[in-house]
Amino acid sequence: MHELVRHPTHSTETLSSAQETLRLMISTYETIVSASELETLSSANIKAKLEQQASLLNCLQLRSQSLESLLQNELNLVCYILHSKSTREQWLTAK
């Protein structure tokens, strides 16, 4: 189970890095376009596409975080059930 939880954690971390990289790309692109004073339809289109990708990455990261929490809850439930079963068996043996 612990191995299952590691994968969404890794995905969440990777998506965070990708989001930060894309944020930096958008910022750099805006700086270049404003410095060159060539705000054209194509440059606005490029920026819109970059922002669309940023939005997609954000949604993927939120989904990854949700999956990570879900798997952690499942792991906690399994541990609780196993502990309860062990405690019950010890109690029955002691009788």
> How much is the pTM?
0.73
Closest CA to 43 of 24, 23, 29, 59: 29
Res 59 pLDDT > 70: yes
Q: Residue 62: pLDDT band by 50, 70, 90 thresholds? A: very high
Q: Residue 1: pLDDT band by 50, 70, 90 thresholds? A: low
What CA–CA distance (Å, rounded) separates 90 from 19?
50
pLDDT tens per residue, range 22-55 = 999 999 999 988 888 777 878 889 999 999 999 9
Calculate mean pLDDT across residues 78-90: 81
What CA–CA distance (Å, rounded) separates 28 from 14?
21
What are the boundaries of each domain within the chain?
2-94
What CA–CA distance (Å, rounded) separates 7 from 10?
5
